[in-house]
Amino acid sequence: MSLAIIWDERFTNISFSHPMIRDISKERIKRFWELLKDEPGIVFVKPDLATRKDLELVHTTDYINKLEKASEDPYIGFLDSGDTTHYPGMFNDILLIVGSSITAIKYSNFFDKIYIPLGGFHHALPNQAMGFCPVNDIGIATKILLEKGERIAIVDVDAHHGNGLQYLFYNKSILKINIFAYDGKFFPGTGHYSERGLGEGKGLNYNIAMPLGSADDSFYEALRILDKVSEFNPTYIIVLAGVDGHKEDNLKSLNLTTNSFNLLGYRINRISKELHSKVISYGGGGYGNYSALCMREFVRGLKGIREKIEKDTEDIEKTKYVKRLVSLLSEGFPSSF
């Protein structure tokens, strides 16, 4: 079988986002289910719960204790300076989220590609919540796969740089590709192109920082960096396919259409077939009316369906910048840019 989606009805009532957009986050998951529940060629798999020991693969004991205590608070509050919310019963939802990744690894023995619509919390650090992310589920999944001796490539596509994942694996022999919006200030403010990795990870970190407002044509150029995945020849490709870069997203960062997310899925499908790699992918961020549709288009691309349902957006000057950046990084460490 080719594609499975990790699904639980409880996903529709989980959000760690700021209270102003929590309802939008939940509605995205509900709409995703309505769009995909009858899609042919997909098997839905119910996730298991993770354990505290699973969380300890990435997070400190003190921080996990903090999460448990916050979950007992009868009121909604923040785990950080004002982004990531806690609420009654939150800890059990965290175990479900992390359990989804662990279930995906288990079922990768039977499916070539797996998608987790509610997952991809790439900002969380070992002792800190950040950017709507209480735990780093991708980091935990990656640690498990590393212990199994797998060769891993992480493709992190989101409006925001995956600082948590970069921190966790910067010196590890893991290919890490980030495609995101960046102007030096846009959250989380990390991801300079000169950050190329250290130790075993030297030369394996690629930050494709697109200017704010970049359009489809810039994104298509950015995807040329995926050639590095083919060169690396991983056994697992982990993909965060965040859709908050859509032009109608409430966080307003990029000017992408659904076509970009479809092409991302399609490129990952082609590469994974070429390499006989397993794919575990995540829904990531998305806070607008088009978010669920973008997620569906990524999944269709992952199934090998290339389609365009919107008119491409363009920005020639920004595309020139992205094209040059990808070329320089593809050739090695850029001494100047």
More confident residue, 306 or 82: 306
Compute the radius of gyration of the chain from its Cα atoms.
18
- pLDDT one-digit tens code per residue, 82-122: 899 999 999 999 999 999 999 999 999 999 999 999 999 99
Alpha carbon 264 to chain centroid, angstroms:
12
Report the pLDDT value the prediction gives residue 334, as an integer from 0 to 100.
60
- Mean pLDDT throughout 68-76? 95
Residues 6+ apart with CB under 8 A from 150: 234, 235, 236
The Cα–Cα gap between 91 and 88 comes to: 8
| Residue range 184-195, pLDDT digits in tens | 889 999 999 999
Q: Return all residues near 174 (Cβ < 8 A) that are at least 6 apart.
A: 142, 146, 152, 153, 154, 201, 204
Distance CA 187, CA 37 (A): 34
Q: DSSP secondary-structure letter at 82? A: S
Is pLDDT above 60 for 337?
no
Provide the sign of the torsion angle of the four alpha carbons 193, 194, 195, 197, taken in this order.
positive
Bridge partners, residue 207, by sequence: 178
User: Residue by residue, what is the 3-state secondary structure of 203-261?
Assistant: CCEEEEEECCCCEHHHHHHHHHHHHHHHHHCCCEEEEEECCCCECCCCCCCCEECHHHH
Instruction: Report the DSSP pairing between strands 77-78 and 85-86.
Output: antiparallel
Write out the DSSP string of 159-179: SS--HHHHHHHTTSS-EEEEE
Catalytic residues, by residue number, are 123
> What pLDDT, on the 0 to 100 scale, is given for residue 89?
97
Under a CB-based contact definition with an 8 Å cutoff, are residues 166 and 142 in contact? no
Write down the pLDDT at residue 299: 99
Cα separation, 104 vs 173, in Å, equals: 22
In whole angstroms, what is the distance from residue 327 CA to residue 34 CA?
A: 40
Q: Looking at residue 28, what is its pLDDT?
A: 97
- Domains of the chain by range and CATH? 3-331 (3.40.800.20)
Residue type, 200: E
Check residue 336 and give its pLDDT: 43
Q: Is the predicted pLDDT of residue 308 greater than 90, yes or no?
A: yes
Residues in the chain: 337
What pLDDT is attached to residue 81?
87
